[in-house]
Amino acid sequence: MNKLALVAAALLLIVLLALPRVVGGITEARVVERVAAIDANPQTAAELKSFERSWFRSRARIELTFGPGAVAGSAGDMPLGVFITLPIVVEFAHGPIAVLNGVHFGWSQLVARPDAEAPGIDELTETLGVPYIFEFRGRTGYLGSVEFDADAPPFELPLDEALLRFSGATLVGNFAAPHLRADAGIGSVELASPTGTLAVRGMRAAADNELRSQYVMPGAASFSVDSISMIGPRGGTPVFEAANVRLASDTAIDAAGELLEVDLSYDVDTVRVAENEITGATVAVAVRNLDAAAVAAYGAVATDAATSGGDPASIAASLGPHLERALRRGPSLTVDPIRFRYGGEPFDGRVEITTNTARLPAAGTFSLDNPLLLAGLVNAKANVRVSKALAADLATLAARAQLGADPAIPPDQLDYMAEAQAGLVLTMLTGQGVLIEEGDFYVSSVDYTDGAATLNGNALPFGLP
């Protein structure tokens, strides 16, 4: 029994010692595969410069290039866009017991940083006074999931007469194919100069998505900013300020994996520009019956067109079949509510656009060449409710902007003339039935169905065949 135990222990020791070498080979193959996948994206390029593998450790040097139509190693020759080249070095420790940034029981650990041996990286690190520009750390478990975290340390950077202050950034999450969960945050970014100070504080982002493709990612994502402000050179009250800016998306896909439902929301508690203030602003967008395959195909065509240019006619020909497929699913778009207060006065609106599938042409005959035909394929409704005081303010602002372009109007008469013109415009719109009075509010509604349009229930003298 003792001999059997010794043999078993020896075999286990041999396996444990041999596994890191095997894992190292698998790691190299995965790095090559991942670099190729990044390089296949037209927005980025990646080149594996070297891969050094030993028994327990490996090191990869990778050059990333970001920009439209990027090609690794040749960004300087590309005529379009701005290119950023980032050399990084990735250190790997091989499991099943990986020792790199602490001890990890799993297949591997990695730490990625900008390559200090690349030109300019060491000088930038020294200028910023940081141990590294950023560091990404990952740990692969025995079941293949990856836990990761990253950070960029805080710094202060003089820029001519300005000073950039960065509080640092953090990222934490995990990836268990195909699900990605991540949370990121930046405390503050501040740029102070003789002309003023721009400050952005409390930035947070979160994602919980299923990565089905580059363009189809069901799940939830959000982004928020506590405050954005611009203070003049003399300090005091900000000339611009926004508080609690929030963006959120929620995308669901049906059981067949064919149709998407997308809900988007945009909210801002307060926006102040000089003496003007908007509060309680919110816009919610709901998209239904969106064909997932058409979205992916459209995204690929659009990305290729944006990065490489191309003939508009050939681009339209490529998009036509995907758009036809999407329209036959009967997609709809609803924007409800559109709501804000300006100077304390309310505005509410709603827009709904649906597909008129009954007017679609025979399969295979759809074309983007006829805009009137495309307009006839949708039905739309829109409603607006605005306080009379706000309508007067908005009309006055529009009139002041128009009259202000005329140097012959003295400044002291500009406000008087703008208010008078705004009053005439509102009177004309109510007299023509464009606006309807309801107590302290104006309301208006537009309906476009089957090629016929009505305004507040009255037929408009135009339509589509």
CB 260 within 8 A of CB 277: no
Query: Over the range 120-151, which residues count as b (16 or more CB within 10 Å of their CB) and which as e?
Result: ebeeebeebebeebbbbbbbbbeeeebbbbbe
Choose between 143 and 220: higher pLDDT.
220
Give the C-alpha separation, 59 to 111, whole Å: 10
Query: Which two three-digit tokens encode residue 239?
Result: 């000339």
**What pLDDT is stored for residue 376 in this prediction?**
81
State the chain's mean pLDDT as an integer.
84
Q: Report residue 237's pLDDT band, with 50, 70 and 90 as the boundaries.
A: confident
Domain boundary residue, one of 64, 93, 118: 118
**What pLDDT is stored for residue 149 in this prediction?**
93
Choose between 308 and 45: higher pLDDT.
45
Give the C-alpha separation, 149 to 111, whole Å: 10
Angle of helix 388-403 relative to helix 411-431, nearest 10 degrees? 130
Contacts 24+ apart (CB under 8 A), 20-25: 20/55, 20/56, 20/94, 20/95, 20/96, 21/55, 21/94, 23/94, 23/95, 23/96, 23/107, 23/108, 24/53, 24/54, 24/55, 24/56, 24/58, 24/92, 24/94, 25/53
| Residue 230 half-sphere exposure toward CB, CA atoms < 13 A | 7
Q: Report residue 39's pLDDT band, with 50, 70 and 90 as the boundaries.
A: confident
Q: What is the 3-state secondary structure (H, E, C) of 72-124?
A: CCCHHHCCCCCCEEEEEEEEEEECCEEEECEEEECCEEEEEEECCCCCCHHHH
Give the C-alpha separation, 55 to 20, whole Å: 6
| Residue 404 half-sphere exposure toward CB, CA atoms < 13 A | 8
Which of these ranges, 182-186, 310-314, 330-334, 388-392, has the smallest mean pLDDT?
310-314
Is it the case that residue 422 has pLDDT exceeding 60? yes
E strand or H helix at 17: helix 2-39
What's the whole-number mean pLDDT along residues 400-405?
A: 74
CB 372 within 8 A of CB 464: yes
Q: Report residue 42's pLDDT band, with 50, 70 and 90 as the boundaries.
A: low
Q: Report residue 263's pLDDT band, with 50, 70 and 90 as the boundaries.
A: very high
Query: Which pTM does this prediction carry?
Result: 0.82
Is it the case that residue 182 has pLDDT exceeding 80? yes
The reply to whether 234 falls in a domain is no
Cα Dmax for the chain: 108
Of 444, 224, 424, nearest to 347 by C-alpha is: 444
Query: Which two three-digit tokens encode residue 358?
Result: 């009954």
CB 43 within 8 A of CB 15: no
The reply to whether 193 falls in a domain is no
Domain boundary residue, one of 118, 147, 177: 118
Backbone angles phi, psi at 313, to 5 degrees: -65, -40
Give the C-alpha separation, 378 to 372, whole Å: 11
Type of residue numbered 237: T
Is it the case that residue 338 has pLDDT exceeding 50? yes
Which of these ranges, 182-186, 295-299, 356-360, 370-374, has the smallest mean pLDDT?
370-374
**What pLDDT is stored for residue 35 in this prediction?**
76
Q: Can you give the residue range of the structural domain that contains 95?
A: 1-118
**What pLDDT is stored for residue 44 in this prediction?**
77
What's the whole-number mean pLDDT along residues 109-113?
A: 88
Is it the case that residue 73 has pLDDT exceeding 80? no
The reply to whether 313 falls in a domain is no
Domain boundary residue, one of 101, 118, 135: 118
**What pLDDT is stored for residue 83 in this prediction?**
55
Q: Report residue 306's pLDDT band, with 50, 70 and 90 as the boundaries.
A: low
Give the C-alpha separation, 43 to 84, whole Å: 11
Of 63, 72, 62, nearest to 41 by C-alpha is: 72
Is it the case that residue 22 has pLDDT exceeding 60? no
**Helix (H/G/I), strand (E/B), else coil: 284:** strand
E strand or H helix at 317: helix 312-328
The reply to whether 417 falls in a domain is yes
Is it the case that residue 75 has pLDDT exceeding 80? no
Ramachandran quadrant class, 232 (left: phi over 0; alpha: psi -120 to 50; beta: rest):
beta
The reply to whether 94 falls in a domain is yes
Domain count, the chain: 2
Choose between 465 and 296: higher pLDDT.
296
CB 136 within 8 A of CB 148: yes
Give the C-alpha separation, 159 to 232, whole Å: 18
The reply to whether 232 falls in a domain is no
Q: Report residue 281's pLDDT band, with 50, 70 and 90 as the boundaries.
A: very high
The reply to whether 242 falls in a domain is no
Is it the case that residue 3 has pLDDT exceeding 60? no
**What pLDDT is stored for residue 146 in this prediction?**
86
Q: Report residue 80's pLDDT band, with 50, 70 and 90 as the boundaries.
A: very low
The reply to whether 205 falls in a domain is no
Which of these ranges, 270-279, 361-370, 382-391, has the smallest mean pLDDT?
361-370
